[in-house]
Every structure is written in structure tokens, then in C-alpha cells.
Amino acid sequence: MRALLISALLLVSSIAASAQSPAPSPSPRSPHLYVQLVEKAKRGDGVNFIELRTAFADWQCGENTDAPNRQAMVDAFNAKDYAKAAELVEGVLDYEYIHRGLHLAAEDAYRHLGNTKKADEHKAVAEKLLEALLTSGDGKTAKTAYRVLSIREEYFIMNKLGYETRSQALVAEGDRMFDVLSGVDPNTKKEVSLYFDITSFFGGCERSRKKP
């Protein structure tokens, strides 16, 4: 009986010690690929801007991806308070680094402040983002569709190519969604149609969450 009692006490002590031991801390999560690529781009390291745009679309499916102080930034630009605008736009760009228009706005602010180095840096990023958009595909087929992040980019490309848009159609192929914009080339009078991959913002997050 004594031996059984001692064994029981040892078992209880073992369980109590296990309960009191702190649970192992979870391993720190690596920053999202988008965040890593933004940091590389800021350092001037080589970055594939098509990959950066694609990573941004996935990153937006997470939480807390809305840029802080965005309206304050807009207000500063409208008030021509370029010092405050330049300060705030840098914070917003952490969240919207793929926004070409913001880089052009930042360039303008820094030129007004006489900071040519920073202005040239943002101009260079804006040019790389434009190149990434225009070289993400050729739009001739679904497989070679332009990868866009908004409908605005679809019409930007059509205008950039000089096409007059006449119609827009939604097309599904497999698990991807496309807009097909049709129009006319005013130079040749020929009808043209371009494919734009809109999967990233047309229900893309819902599909991403369903993946195992």
C-alpha cells in the first residue's frame, strides 16, 4: 500500500510540474514576401517588380493592410505642405509600394523640397512599376494576360497602347478570372481585344482562404 501511495504521489507531482512548465514560445513568423520585397526595393537591391506586384495582391488578403494617415497625406498634398506630405507618403508607401501614382507624388514633393536624390529614387521606382505592368503579359490570350491589380490599370493599358475601348466582358477559365476589353486601333481601324487577369482582386482572397 505504501509503495502504491508513493507512486501515486510521484505521478501527481509529475503532472503538476508539467502543468506549471511554460509552453514553448511559437517560432517568430517571417515577414510576408511583399514586406520583404519592399524592404529590398528600399535598399536598392535587385527586385522583380512583377513578383512584387503579385506578392502585394496576396498580402492584401491579410489583416491590417490599410495604410495609416492616408487621408492626412492627401490633405498635406492638397495644402502643398510638401514637408509633411513627404513624411507621410513614406509611411503610406510601406503599405502601397506598388502604387505608381504615390511614387510620382512623392517625387513631386521632394523636388519642391530640393531633395533631388529622393525625388530621383521615387521616379525610378515609378518607372519600374510601369514596366512591370506593361511587361506582365501581352494580353493576346488568357495565358498571356496582363496581370492587373485594378480595373483602372486595364483602361490605363488600353489608353497607353492607343486603343479606343468599346466593351468589357468577364471571362472565367479554370480558377482564374479575366476581363476582356475590346476596342479599335484608331491608326489601323482594326478591332482589338486584350485579356486582363483580375484574379487578384475579383474574389482572390476568398479563393486563397480555401486553399489547404
- What domains does the chain contain, in order, with CATH numbers? 33-134 (no CATH), 146-210 (3.10.450)
Whether 19 has a pLDDT exceeding 80, the answer reads no
Q: What is the pLDDT of residues 97-130, one digit of tens each?
A: 999 999 999 999 999 999 999 999 999 999 999 9
Which residue from 139, 141, 211 is spatially nearest to 175, judged by alpha carbons?
211
State the virtual CA torsion across 23, 27, 28, 31 in degrees, nearest 10.
Answer: -150
Phi, psi of 23 (to 5 degrees): -70, 145
Of 5 and 183, the one with more pLDDT: 183
Phi, psi of 55 (to 5 degrees): -65, -35
Which residue from 120, 126, 147 is spatially nearest to 56, judged by alpha carbons?
147
At 60 the pLDDT is 84
At 58 the pLDDT is 86
